[in-house]
């Protein structure tokens, strides 16, 4: 029979990438903690949460996941697998409860209510499997992963073991459906006897009073007890009384349980849990898609010469703006050899930190094999993603801040290779301009020599023309409205404009404005 390993990893060898510390500052800096906390919360029960902290370093592994994620861009496939997974999950959850309860029974005890419940769930399980196997037969699935699972499922459904199980289930359900008993309720006593051809009260009333023009409309529906009001003890007693009149069938039930109690297929089970990795991602980004933003599957290359992303954006910001029926401004970036370092300058609150975050999110999410913000992209899988953000809330005293920054920088640079990605946000802002410039230039030299990919957000315009590896990007302002930002980041030489002047103008606090006001 065909084997299927996992929908997250093509083979066991790929699994077991190093797990990063979920508490790392990187996740907080990039706001990825907000993304993963939400996703993990909805997927807690499925046991794959670690995957979010295990970025892939193998191109094929990433492609494996991208293909699957792409299949779920299709709403029909999403629905199909989503309901399959949910049905399996629900059935298994209920089965687990029954399995536990039955295992706790003492040797002399029996509970036919639980056993009948297991039978019912077995029937449901068979139908889910068979329906799914039927449904996916002949459907155009693109990803290797889902195709492999479908083949497994088809094999499993037609396997002699499963067919045997299905037949046993169907037969026994049929036998139960042939049972007809009568329950007598009188005060607090309940008796059970087999059906004795008693007439139905409804039809009697109808036929007796039909001479008074009753419409014989059958309003009979198969009513069920509401699950929350079922008393397990009463149910157990009822079933046990019914068993006394149908010993054969219930003996078969005992045998069925002995043979089939643990009927869940491990591979199907694992799939039904792990597939939520993709399904929950699709759900997570769907509201953002509805505001008009695009997601794409970056082309992954082994060499680091070309990197670009068109129409990138900060995913967390985008999700927050959904409630305002708006979306953030999208920005693009590109680096072609020998370009390696983006120096981003521009006014305060101009969207630079947001850009830095979207840059980092882009690389990290892509290495999980999921779709990423953007309309088209190309990248390589970094061996590490390092972030160095200016931490304003830090308790460290102001003069200790520079020291702290340098220590952090050192530890990052020690591990940086020419396949790493660094994001440095507003470093050296707590020292004199002269010092900052000097340290900045040293840092740029280091980065340049290492050959890593980097984004440095800084107020030091001078760094933007450091060497042939450097590219200058600038955050823009809205020329028409003083103090307004456009959040548009463009690839051009830095302005050298005193942006502070811009804000001052907004509050009528420029020199000329203030003079005028004071003269009054």
Partner 1 sequence: MNVYLLLKNSDFNLDDLTEEEIEPLNSDLSLDIIFKAMAKGDDVIYGAVRKVMFRYLTDSSEITYRQEILNDAFAKPKEFKKLYEIASEALDATKKQDYWLNSQILTTRFQSAVSVLEGFIPFLQELRKFADQNKNAFSSYGMNRLLSEIKEEIDDDFIRKAKDLVSELEFKDGMLLGLTFDNDASLAGYQLLRKTSEDNKIKWKMAPKVTLAVNDESGMEDISDRTNLALSQSVDTLTEAAGNVKDFLFRLQTEIGFYIGVLNLTDTLKEKNVSYCMPLISDSTMKKRHIAGLSEATVVLSGENAVHNDIDSEGKSLYIITGANQGGKSTFLRSIGQAQMMAQSGCIVMAQSFESHVVSGIFTHFSKLEDRTMKSGKLDEELLRMSGIADRIRSNALILFNESFQSTNEREGSEICREIVNALVEDGIEVFFVTHFFTFAENVLEHMKDESVFLKAERMSGGQRTFKIVPGLPEETAYGRDLYDSIF
For residue 117, the minimal CB distance to partner 1 (Å) is 7
For residue 146, the minimal CB distance to partner 1 (Å) is 29
Q: Residue-wise over 352-380: b if at least 16 C-beta within 10 A, else e? A: bbbbbbbbbbbbbbbbbbbbbbbeebebb
Residue of 18, 109, 196, 248 interacting with partner 1 (CB under 8 A): 196
Dig out the tokens for 339 from the structure.
């370009």
Q: Does 102 bind partner 1 (CB under 8 A)?
A: no
Residues 6+ apart with CB under 8 A from 275: 7, 81, 85
Mark 147-176 with x for binding to partner 1 (rule: CB under 8 A) and - for no binding.
-------------------------xx--x
Residue of 83, 202, 305, 418 interacting with partner 1 (CB under 8 A): 202
Dig out the tokens for 232 from the structure.
């397990």
Query: Which of 65, 53, 59, 63 lies closest to 17, judged by CA?
Result: 53
User: Per CB under 8 A, which region of 178-186, 299-307, 404-412, 503-511 contacts partner 1?
Assistant: 178-186
423 class by beta-carbon count within 10 Å (0-12 exposed, 13-18 middle, 19+ buried)? buried
Residue of 24, 73, 120, 334 interacting with partner 1 (CB under 8 A): 120
Dig out the tokens for 89 from the structure.
């999950």
* Region of 487 on the Ramachandran plot (φ > 0 left; ψ -120 to 50 alpha; else beta): left
Q: C-alpha angle 135/137/142, rounded to 5°?
A: 105
# chain residues binding partner 1, by CB under 8 A: 64
Residue of 108, 212, 262, 323 interacting with partner 1 (CB under 8 A): 212
Residue of 18, 76, 220, 302 interacting with partner 1 (CB under 8 A): 220
Pairing relation of β-strands 453-457 and 341-345?
Answer: parallel
For residue 112, the minimal CB distance to partner 1 (Å) is 10
Query: Which of 469, 324, 411 lies closest to 25, judged by CA?
Result: 411
User: Per CB under 8 A, which region of 24-32, 52-60, 181-189, 458-466 contacts partner 1?
Assistant: 181-189
Cβ contact 259:118 at 8 Å? no
Residue of 224, 247, 434, 515 interacting with partner 1 (CB under 8 A): 224
For residue 182, the minimal CB distance to partner 1 (Å) is 6
For residue 422, the minimal CB distance to partner 1 (Å) is 58
Name the residue nearer to partner 1 (CB basis): 103 or 186. 186
Torsion, Cα 71 296 455 21, to 10 degrees, reads -20
Q: Does 321 bind partner 1 (CB under 8 A)?
A: no
Q: Does 131 bind partner 1 (CB under 8 A)?
A: no
Name the residue nearer to partner 1 (CB basis): 61 or 121. 121
Residue of 209, 442, 500, 509 interacting with partner 1 (CB under 8 A): 209
Residue of 42, 100, 158, 191 interacting with partner 1 (CB under 8 A): 191
Residue of 185, 395, 518, 519 interacting with partner 1 (CB under 8 A): 185
For residue 113, the minimal CB distance to partner 1 (Å) is 9
Site for partner 1 in 232-271 (CB under 8 A): 233-235, 237-238, 240-242, 244-245
For residue 124, the minimal CB distance to partner 1 (Å) is 6
Q: Does 433 bind partner 1 (CB under 8 A)?
A: no
Name the residue nearer to partner 1 (CB basis): 197 or 393. 197
CA of residue 511 relative to chain centroid, distance: 53
C-alpha–C-alpha distance, residues 80 and 71, integer Å: 11
Cis ω before 338 (30° cut-off from 0): yes
C-alpha–C-alpha distance, residues 72 and 279, integer Å: 7
Q: Does 130 bind partner 1 (CB under 8 A)?
A: no
C-alpha–C-alpha distance, residues 121 and 119, integer Å: 5
For residue 233, the minimal CB distance to partner 1 (Å) is 6
CA of residue 372 relative to chain centroid, distance: 12
172 class by beta-carbon count within 10 Å (0-12 exposed, 13-18 middle, 19+ buried)? buried
C-alpha–C-alpha distance, residues 135 and 141, integer Å: 12
Cβ contact 98:116 at 8 Å? no
H/E stretch holding 424 reads strand 421-425
Residue of 104, 219, 398, 434 interacting with partner 1 (CB under 8 A): 219
Q: Does 481 bind partner 1 (CB under 8 A)?
A: no
Torsion, Cα 163 167 170 176, to 10 degrees, reads -150
Residue of 199, 247, 515, 520 interacting with partner 1 (CB under 8 A): 199
Residue of 45, 96, 105, 230 interacting with partner 1 (CB under 8 A): 230
Q: Does 179 bind partner 1 (CB under 8 A)?
A: yes
Q: What is the contact surface with partner 1 in residues (CB under 8 A)?
A: 116-117, 119-121, 123-124, 172-173, 176-177, 179-193, 195-202, 204-206, 208-209, 211-215, 219-220, 222-226, 229-231, 233-235, 237-238, 240-242, 244-245
């Amino acid at each position: 029979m065909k084997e299927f390993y996992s929908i997250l990893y093509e083979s066991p060898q790929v699994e077991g990438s190093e797990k990063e510390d979920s508490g790392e500052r990187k996740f907080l800096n990039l706001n990825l903690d907000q993304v993963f906390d939400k996703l993990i919360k909805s997927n807690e029960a499925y046991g794959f949460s670690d995957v979010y902290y295990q970025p892939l370093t193998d191109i094929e592994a990433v492609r494996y996941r991208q293909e699957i994620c792409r299949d779920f861009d299709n709403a029909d496939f999403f629905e199909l697998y989503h309901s399959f997974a949910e049905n399996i999950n629900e059935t298994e959850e209920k089965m687990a409860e029954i399995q536990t309860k039955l295992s706790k029974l003492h040797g002399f005890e029996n509970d036919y209510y639980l056993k009948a419940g297991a039978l019912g769930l077995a029937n449901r399980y068979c139908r889910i499997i068979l329906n799914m196997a039927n449904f996916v037969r002949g459907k155009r699935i693109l990803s290797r992963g889902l195709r492999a699972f479908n083949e497994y499922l088809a094999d499993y459904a037609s396997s002699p073991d499963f067919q045997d199980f299905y037949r046993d289930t169907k037969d026994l359900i049929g036998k139960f459906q042939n049972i007809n008993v009568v329950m007598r309720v009188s005060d607090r006593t309940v008796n059970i006897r087999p059906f004795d051809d008693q007439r139905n009260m409804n039809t009697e009333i109808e036929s007796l009073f039909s001479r008074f023009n009753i419409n014989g409309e059958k309003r009979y529906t198969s009513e069920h007890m509401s699950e929350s009001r079922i008393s397990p003890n009463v149910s157990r007693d009822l079933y046990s009384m019914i068993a006394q009149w149908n010993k054969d069938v219930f003996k078969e039930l005992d045998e069925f349980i002995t043979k089939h109690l643990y009927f869940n297929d491990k591979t199907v089970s694992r799939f039904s849990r792990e597939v939520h990795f993709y399904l929950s991602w699709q759900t997570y980004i769907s509201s953002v898609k509805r505001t008009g933003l695009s997601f794409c599957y970056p082309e992954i290359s082994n060499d680091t010469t070309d990197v670009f992303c068109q129409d990138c954006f900060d995913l967390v910001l985008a999700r927050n703006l959904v409630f305002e029926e708006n979306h953030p401004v999208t920005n693009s970036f590109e680096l072609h050899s020998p370009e390696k370092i983006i120096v981003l300058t521009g006014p305060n609150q101009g969207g630079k930190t947001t850009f830095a975050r979207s840059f980092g999110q882009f690389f990290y999410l892509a290495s999980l094999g999921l779709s990423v913000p953007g309309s088209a992209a190309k990248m390589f899988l970094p061996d590490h993603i390092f972030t160095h953000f200016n931490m304003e809330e830090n308790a460290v005293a102001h003069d200790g801040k520079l020291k702290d920054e340098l220590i952090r920088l050192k530890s990052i640079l020690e591990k940086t290779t020419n396949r790493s990605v660094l994001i440095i946000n507003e470093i050296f802002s707590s020292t004199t301009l002269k010092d900052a410039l000097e340290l900045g230039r040293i840092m740029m030299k280091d980065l340049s020599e290492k050959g890593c990919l980097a984004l440095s957000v800084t107020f030091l315009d001078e760094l933007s023309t450091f060497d042939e590896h450097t590219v200058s990007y600038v955050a823009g302002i809205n020329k028409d409205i003083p103090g307004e930002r456009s959040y548009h980041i463009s690839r051009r030489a830095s302005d050298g404009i005193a942006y502070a002047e811009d804000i001052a103008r907004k509050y009528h606090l420029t020199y000329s404005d203030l003079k005028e006001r004071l003269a009054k």
